Amino acid sequence: MHDEQMTEEKKKIIHLLLSHMTGRFYPLACQSFAVPDMTVDRAVTAMARKKNLPWADNKKVRNSVIRKYVHFRLELASLMVKSDSRCSDFLAETVKNSLDFDITRSFSGEFDNVRRALLPFKSPFSMESGMVIPLITYLSAETGVSLSPLTDYLMKETEEYMARVKEESASFMDALSFCNPDFHDTTALKLPFLLLQCICENLGMEEGGLVTESAQILMPLSEVTPYMAKKKLTPAGARFFYHYIVFRAMVLSFFGSYMYQDRKLRDSIYKGVMKSRPVMRLIRTARAIHFLADEDFIMNQRLYLKINMFMRQWAIFDPKRKEHYYRYYPNFTSYIGDRMEDESFGDRINLLLDEFCQADRFTLSERDRNFLLQETAAYINTVSHAMYFAYNIGFRRPEDFIDSRWNERTKNPLLKGFKKIFGL
């Protein structure tokens, strides 16, 4: 990868990492860590009732306490991430405009004294006795009720929350550090999983055009599919076409995860495809003409299982040996093509199309079916090659993030050895 292209790709991954970071801490702020499997509002309510506090059944007061505490948590997370980013000028500059974790825009003005409550919290953010006293004091003053009986609970809740934020912040700083233009760490053995997720999500976003374009004709699939081209679309036909697009997106995500040898990356690739401009354009159009409703975007469990069953014919793994769940297959594209030569391959596609028709109450004409049979076979062949080449020219290893000015020092060591021997 050329340095200019690497710089552009790094910018895309930084954008995705910051987007993930911005949305990551709000769910954590609403989750209880002292009481497992509970949201913080339910946990606070349960503790207030357990202590027989007079405001326990006062919904208005209870909501005020909870919302102010969530606001405090969001600001605490922002403070901790900002502190972690100071280890590098690049990280500090990169995250400085992405530290507002109130993604709902509904908590920012809740706790007036949040800055004062945060004063005891400083790096390295280790919980000490008395650190939550200002929090309790200002919360009590603003809500008009005494929260002293909840001191131990809030201390434990905040301590566990801080530990989780530390983990998340460290993982984002680690992933972002690879995107530093000056990154040249040759000791790194593998890429952080969070970084791989963003690489795969970016891959899906860039390859979204493959999903919406015909693999046989260089035109949008919506314009060459016979029943779509007639401009007589119905809600049932729109649902069928959407599910066929979802199937194509899943094919791409399966093959991409095969190349990265990790099935956990499949969802990241699929998410990227569904966020890509070509797919989003199709969805917006279908919504605009009221042919697709919100419930249509919820994946039918039966369809999901049928697509998975269809993809099993290319499962490059031994299901009985999970440690080798995905093995790199040297002849990946030929392996995909060989399976398509099987006589029953067309029958498998037909069965899948029948499932879509049944789920969407749509009747597929013989002409449409024949077209989709050929289109699906061509698409699978095209995507297998696209994923193979995208993987080989993309970010795969830590050294792929090092540009040429750092690589010059270690490039062609054998040639340099010969030059040294012969005095050249």
> For residue range 312-332, what is the model confidence (pLDDT) as tens digits?
887 665 556 555 545 555 677
pTM of the model: 0.88
Q: Are residues 159 and 206 in the same domain?
A: no
Q: Are residues 199 and 171 in the same domain?
A: no
Q: Are residues 225 and 167 in the same domain?
A: no
> For residue range 177-218, what is the model confidence (pLDDT) as tens digits?
999 998 887 787 889 999 999 999 999 999 999 999 999 988
Range of the domain at 319: 193-422
- How many angstroms separate the CA atoms of 379 and 385, rounded? 10
- How many angstroms separate the CA atoms of 193 and 187, rounded? 17
CB proximity list for 162: less than 8 A, separation 6 or greater = 76, 80, 125, 127
CA 115 to chain centroid, in Å, comes to 32
- How many angstroms separate the CA atoms of 374 and 376, rounded? 6
Q: Are residues 172 and 197 in the same domain?
A: no
Mean pLDDT of the chain: 89
> For residue range 359-387, what is the model confidence (pLDDT) as tens digits?
888 999 999 999 999 999 999 999 999 99
- The pLDDT, as a whole number, for residue 410 is 47
- Average confidence (pLDDT) over 327-343: 77
Q: Are residues 264 and 217 in the same domain?
A: yes
Q: Are residues 124 and 27 in the same domain?
A: yes
Q: Are residues 241 and 94 in the same domain?
A: no
Q: Are residues 244 and 160 in the same domain?
A: no
Q: Are residues 29 and 171 in the same domain?
A: yes
> For residue range 117-173, what is the model confidence (pLDDT) as tens digits?
999 999 899 888 889 999 999 999 999 999 999 999 999 999 999 999 999 999 999
Domain total of the chain: 2
Q: Are residues 280 and 347 in the same domain?
A: yes
DSSP letter assigned to residue 263: G
The reply to whether 187 falls in a domain is: no
